[in-house]
Amino acid sequence: MRQDSEITSESLARNPIAGFDPDRIAGLQANRSAIERRAASLPARRSVKGTAQAGWLLRAITMIDLTTLSGDDTPGRVRRLCAKARRPLRDDLRAALGMSETPLQTGAVCVYHEMVPHAVQALAGSNIPVAAVSTGFPAGLSPLKLRIAEIRDSVAAGASEIDIVISRRHALTSDWERLYDELCQFREACGPAHMKAILATGELGSLRRVAQASHVAMMAGTDFIKTSTGKEAVNATLPVSLVMTRAIRDHFERTGYRVGYKPAGGISKAKDALSYLVLIKEELGPHWLTPELFRFGASSLLGDIERQLDHHISGAYSAAHLHPMG
């Protein structure tokens, strides 16, 4: 699936912690009407069809953080999800697509801290990373020392990616330096594990604040910026994604470091995934179309992609229950 010229995790330099720059934050603006017009044009630009579309959907599978974040999660559910991450397509579909001998797996499995050991065990022998949500997910309102300890505990348990949540109150009161200081502590606690900063964009109130929070997180050394916990009333949207990807592009132009992007929450249809891939290709370029720099935070998305690939092969839509997550 991956071209030789593309970035790999071994060649990608991590975004380091940099000094806080208040002038950079203060100077940011966001033209909502222009952003919304540009975002509205993206689905219409989704022109890939037939075999090309199937290829894009196969690539999308490799960029999914297959996720379960429910109060009734059990070790058995996590093990089944991990089995799906290892073999995301039915064997008959892989054979029909000529993929029987080609490695295909999801980008990661994302779980609560308590489920990390079960996921690590279930994924042993694969190179699929385990991502843990942390820092008092989803609200981020537990005491700071407990949030930092939670990160360290998840890393010790085997998580190689940590999805932290920002303190929205710092963003809403424009206390950017305090947010930066907090994120720096999270980044240091992550150690070798990659940090994905969840901005909870649906609760930030404006696109300008989304841009500001994105830049603060990148100054603090985050490896990814992520839209949502999936628990907010409004999660990933194309306008928010446009703002965040342009912040990533600006950060790269300023520093030379590539930061990843993860839209999460509400992306459940293959056609929507294609719109996000178009956005990434047009705004950031093909280097970002790898699991090292782009992820979908989703679970049901994989089922719909599998169903669309089944339609590509057979010409008929199959029932959703034929494409279970576990």
CA 257 from centre of chain: 18
DSSP H helical segments within the chain, as ranges? 22-26, 32-41, 50-61, 75-86, 91-96, 116-122, 144-156, 168-172, 176-190, 207-219, 238-255, 270-283, 300-314
The C-alpha R_g of the chain, in whole angstroms, comes to 19
Q: Which amino acid is at 158?
A: G
Handedness of CA 133, 137, 140, 146 (dihedral sign): negative
Phi/psi region, residue 201 (left: phi>0; alpha: psi -120 to 50; beta: rest), is: alpha
- Look up tokens 């017009």; give the residue: 37
Question: Is residue 239 a contact partner of residue 204, using CB atoms and an 8 Å limit?
Answer: no
Of 58, 223, 230, 199, the C-alpha closest to 129 is 223
**Does an H or E element contain 297, and which?**
strand 296-298
Catalytic residue chosen out of the listed positions 262, 272, 304, 310: 262
Of 3, 79, 89, 1, the C-alpha closest to 287 is 3
Catalytic residue chosen out of the listed positions 84, 196, 223, 226: 226
- Cα 133 to Cα 282: distance, rounded to the nearest angstrom: 30
Which residues touch 232 (CB under 8 Å, ≥6 apart)? 138, 200, 202, 203, 265
Catalytic residue chosen out of the listed positions 65, 163, 223, 272: 163
Told to judge if 163 belongs to the known catalytic residues of this protein, a careful annotator would answer: yes
What b/e sequence results for 163-184 when a residue is b if at least 16 CB atoms lie within 10 Å of its CB, and e otherwise? bbbbbbebbeeeebeebbebbb
Residues belonging to the active site: 163, 226, 262
